[in-house]
Amino acid sequence: MRRPSFGTSILIQRSLPRVLHIVEALDRGAVENWLLRMLRHACSQGATLDWTFYCVVGHPGLLDEEARSLGARVVHSPVPLVRKAAFIRALRTELRRERYDVLHCHHDLVSAVYLLASAGLKIRKRIVHIHNADATVPTPSWFKQRLLREPMRRVCLTMADLMVGISGHTLDSLLAGRARRHARDVVHYYGLDPTPLEHSIEDRIELRRKLAVPPDALLLLFAGRLVPEKNPLFAVEVLAELRRLEPRAVGVFAGTGSLEQAVLSRARALGCDSAVRLLGWRSDVIEIMCCCDWFILPHPEQPMEGFGVAVVEAQLAGLRLLLSAGVPNDPLLPTASFRRVALSAGPTTWAEAATQLLNTPAPSRAAAATALRASPMDMDRALDELIGLHA
């Protein structure tokens, strides 16, 4: 039975702050899914939250109706973000009309636009939440990147009452050498619930049957977007080397992205395409994780990963981890079985690390779940802290 949350019981007795979360869209994004996860958990604990999601992408999202069913409002911007002046006017109208207590911005440096829209309005607290460590401005122009990055950073640091990072490294990346200010620059970890993984039914043989691989195949899982910043092509190179050491190895890629065809092309070039399975976007990644043997995340070392939710889930699923130096320590539990290898060491060294891990006992899923509940990523603790950010 889940322990009662003392902090939540105190917080929900206060008058509810009206919170406006500015997000991209309530779709498959990690940020939006985390917020819905916390809202879901609040409802399950009997906590009432007055949340509104302001979606800068004007079209409906896959999670809109669920958010509404949980008591939240969902507002779509009538103006696209690229029309900056009109977008700011529309957002300012929403802020003035609804008189929100808290403006919670989730777009890293782009949050500067939302802060400027709120200038002069009676908003009790303005929060900039940093979810990525790359500190980029979403424009293809290198010149605009250089021109806008520092002014937008200064707007965030000056206008925000609270700067929140999803990890220590992520927070410090936006501070860019500036010392953390007490109670103004804080780390708030994503809350994760180990229950779905604890209750997941592990059927290794059935998954291998569906993948059309031998029953004794050893699965190397890459779970995430197939995009350059996740480095899936390196995972293919590791797989090719791993099969020289362990012919039963098969690479499983759960995710979509711009590098899907490049993954297949690299696998063909390396002669391991028959051992690659591209699954596309999946809603059953947890079940897939529980039937695999390794989890690989060869994230580029600069900029580092913000916070790897999939890294935590992989530990809860009992997987051995192959990580680059671009993955911070924050998501690692004390029970983790992992090897951290520099990308410069090359795929052969990574493959050797994988075989070494295979010779160690499989990590305990129960021990990982216990460690999670004692960490800042525990759902009750994370909910208490999130509500506390808005107090």
Number of H helices, E strands in the chain: 16, 13
**Is residue 350 pLDDT above 50, yes or no?**
yes
pLDDT band at 32 (very low <50, low <70, confident <90, very high): very high
Rounded CA Rg of the chain = 22
What confidence tier does 249 reach under pLDDT thresholds 50, 70, 90? very high
Average pLDDT value over all residues in the chain:
92
Arithmetic mean of pLDDT, 49-78: 96
Type of residue numbered 165: G
pLDDT at 246: 97
pLDDT at 14 over 90: no
Which helix (H) or strand (E) element contains residue 321? Answer: strand 320-323
pLDDT of residue 1: 31
CA 7 to CA 9: how far, in whole Å? 5
Confidence of residue 225 (pLDDT cuts 50, 70, 90): very high
Percentage of the chain modeled with pLDDT above 90: 82
Specify the higher pLDDT residue, 4 or 102: 102
pLDDT at 5: 42
**Domains along the sequence of the chain with CATH:** 14-189+376-389 (3.40.50.2000), 195-372 (3.40.50.2000)
Average pLDDT score over residue span 126-149: 81
DSSP label at 129? Answer: E
Instruction: Give CA angle at 155 (150, 157), nearest 5°.
Output: 90
Pairing of the two strands 50-55 and 320-323: unpaired
Q: What's residue 22's pLDDT?
A: 98
Q: Is the pLDDT of residue 232 over 90?
A: yes
CA distances from 123 to 19, 24, 363, 382 (A): 10, 21, 47, 24
What pLDDT score does 141 carry? 75
pLDDT at 11: 41
% of the chain at pLDDT higher than 70: 96
Dist. CA 187–CA 182, nearest whole Å? 11
- Indicate if the pLDDT at residue 316 is higher than 70: yes
30: CB partners within 8 A, 6+ apart = 131, 309
C-alpha 250/C-alpha 238 separation (Å) is: 11
Evaluate if residue 76 carries a pLDDT over 60: yes
User: DSSP character for 290?
Assistant: T
